[in-house]
Chains A and B, each alone.
Chain A
Amino acid sequence: MRILLSVTLGILTAIGGFLDIGDLVAAAVIGSRFGMSLAWVLVVGVTGMVLFSEMAARVTAISGRAVFDLVRERLGARAGLANLLASYIITLLTMSAQIGGIALALELASSIHYLLWVPVAVFLVWVVIWRMPFGWMEKTYGLLGLALVVFGVALWRLGPDWGELMSSATRFSPPPDEEWSVWSYYAIALFGATMTPYSVLFFSSSGVEEKWTPRDLVTARVNAFVGFPLGGLLALAIMGCAATWLMPADIEVEDLGQVALPVVAALGKLGLVVVIVGFFAATFGAGLESALAAGYSVAQYFGWPWGKTVVSPAGAPYFHVVILLSLMAGTLFILTGIDPIKVVEYSIVLSAVALPLTYLPIFVVANDRGYMGDRVNSRFTNIVGSFYLVLLLMVSIVAIPLMLYTKAGQ
């Protein structure tokens, strides 16, 4: 019974913690502009996320070490440094976007300008990282993030033409008045939003925080194989709401308020309250994860003590300093007044560029018998993983040229 409760809680936490500001915005933008024609990207992205998260979980459970810690050792200091720099820059940008998202959610609830909320949001993130126990932190934002199920309820209440939605989802081509280049650009953006590097960095390091052993592998796999796809369903619901309500009204999503419009239209004030709670939980949780991921990656590369639970704060000073400096840098960046939604859009495309750097090392380590013993990847995993690596490389190569050619999707 206890195990069942633990697994259920893990799945619910994985569902609620799956989405961040990138997923929220990308799904809504794409649904409002292209309908469900890019739903297949979510399926591909979630499958990849499950595959590599399972690898990362297995590496952590068997070796007792986080993936990034092993990457430097396995690939060498220089390759590890290049990996670190790319991952850290993207994670910092993503974290800035999450901070902006937290502030935007608070603005929607209060009408106080989001820039005034930014310092508050960062302070809250830092206090939670500093003081709240790791397990409590994960479960709180994960369970609160389940509020985003409201998009599924709203979609049902909006009464869409399900046949038309399915038809749009299986079309695999842009709507008649959209260009293939722009459609492809947004496919890459959605893919980058689904497979964000910081997620795997955090997932792996959290396994060390929670002292995973091989016995915990079952729970971790259930969380990945069940929780993440169900979280992906939430993203599909957001896309469906935008496709059903915003696209026919010629509304293209550009801000967080528009993302919530279908929910408010369907469910009124109660829906609005729930969706804002969901926005806050998703962005706050992702802010915590990305801030921790920034600290994990730097501390693991340099071999500094790290972690919230493994060592006391005084025992990991450099780790906490990196987190604090990263939060300050992200805060200053958002306080320049740059549109947080634009930061989100650029961060998810740049995430797509960095994907091979994150996932190839995981693949290499997961196949290393020196660390994994007989728990290396199966042949099936290696075949699928190799396919994904080729896909990630192709996405990485075309992301920036497409961004330039389409003027970032215009």
Chain B
Amino acid sequence: MNASDPPRPERSRGARGPRPARGERTVLAGARTALAGILAALVLAATACTAPPLNADAYLHDARQTTVDLLSAARTGILVAELAEDDRAFQPYLEVSAKDVEESARSLTDTFGALQPPTPELDGLRDELTDLSDATVHDLSALRIALRRGNADGVVEASEKLHETASALVDLRKELR
């Protein structure tokens, strides 16, 4: 330690300091506000802070988002199948990846299926998207099963079906834009 360095103060153990100055009271107030914000956010996050759509715009937004997310799951399945066909990845990784996107697609299906269409005119959209989400889940399940069994033909077949489902989802996404 150099002579020019300030002497190091003794460590205090929980000693009380003087009343904080104005700037420090600002820090304290800010800290309290931020802490309240964090706690509020945690509570809201715990309740998932989602609500069923209230009008047609909100329903269409949810339908659009579900379509995009299902397309993502289907395309992931296709990539996983290609990696399996080309033997470019180990079995555990392929199985886990297929399982994860299948679970994601299943969750999307359940969530969208629970939404109430706000008007009868949107029942057709609901039916179409529900069918596509069921198909996505089915195809991803088939892929997962084929991967786990080492069934190369099954992987190819699941991949082809996922291609068809993905095309249909792309078309629906264009309609919903």
Contact = CB atoms under 8 A, between A and B. Distances in A.
Interface in B1-56: 1-2, 4-6, 8-9, 11-20, 24, 27-28, 30-32, 34-35, 37-42, 44-45, 49-50
Judged by DSSP, the binding face of B is helix
B104 A255 contact: yes
Interface string B131-157: 000000000000000000000000000
Interface in A37-65: 62-65
Contacts of B15: 73, 303
A73 B12 contact: yes
Interface string A345-378: 0100110011011001100100001111111000
A212 to B, nearest CB: 11
Interface string B90-128: 111101110011001000000000000000000000000
B20 A78 contact: yes
B109 to A, nearest CB: 15
A322 interface: no
A400 interface: yes
A63 B35 contact: no
B39 to A, nearest CB: 8
Most buried by B among A76, A276, A302: A76
A108 B4 contact: no
A75 B9 contact: no
A89 interface: yes
B20 A89 contact: no
Contacts of B104: 254-255
A199 interface: no
Nearest to A79: B28
A102 interface: no
Contact of A75 (B27, B65, B89): B27
A394 interface: no
Interface in B30-87: 30-32, 34-35, 37-42, 44-45, 49-50, 65, 68-69, 71-72, 75-76, 79, 83
Interface in A82-118: 82-83, 85-86, 89-90, 107-111
A102 B39 CA distance: 26
A112 B105 CA distance: 21
Given A75-B27, A269-B89, A356-B34, 4 more contacts: A214-B1, A261-B97, A268-B89, A269-B88
Interface of B: 1-2, 4-6, 8-9, 11-20, 24, 27-28, 30-32, 34-35, 37-42, 44-45, 49-50, 65, 68-69, 71-72, 75-76, 79, 83, 88-93, 95-97, 100-101, 104, 170, 177
Q: Which 3 A-B pairs have the closest CB atoms?
A: A303-B13, A82-B31, A373-B6
Interface of A: 62-65, 69, 73, 75-79, 82-83, 85-86, 89-90, 107-111, 177, 213-214, 249-252, 254-255, 257-258, 260-261, 264-265, 268-269, 272, 276, 302-304, 346, 349-350, 353-354, 356-357, 360-361, 364, 369-375, 396, 400, 403-404, 407-408, 410
24 contacts: A62-B5, A73-B12, A77-B14, A79-B24, A79-B28, A79-B31, A82-B32, A82-B35, A250-B68, A250-B170, A251-B76, A252-B68, A254-B69, A264-B88, A264-B93, A265-B83, A269-B89, A349-B41, A350-B41, A364-B27, A370-B6, A373-B4, A400-B41, A410-B65
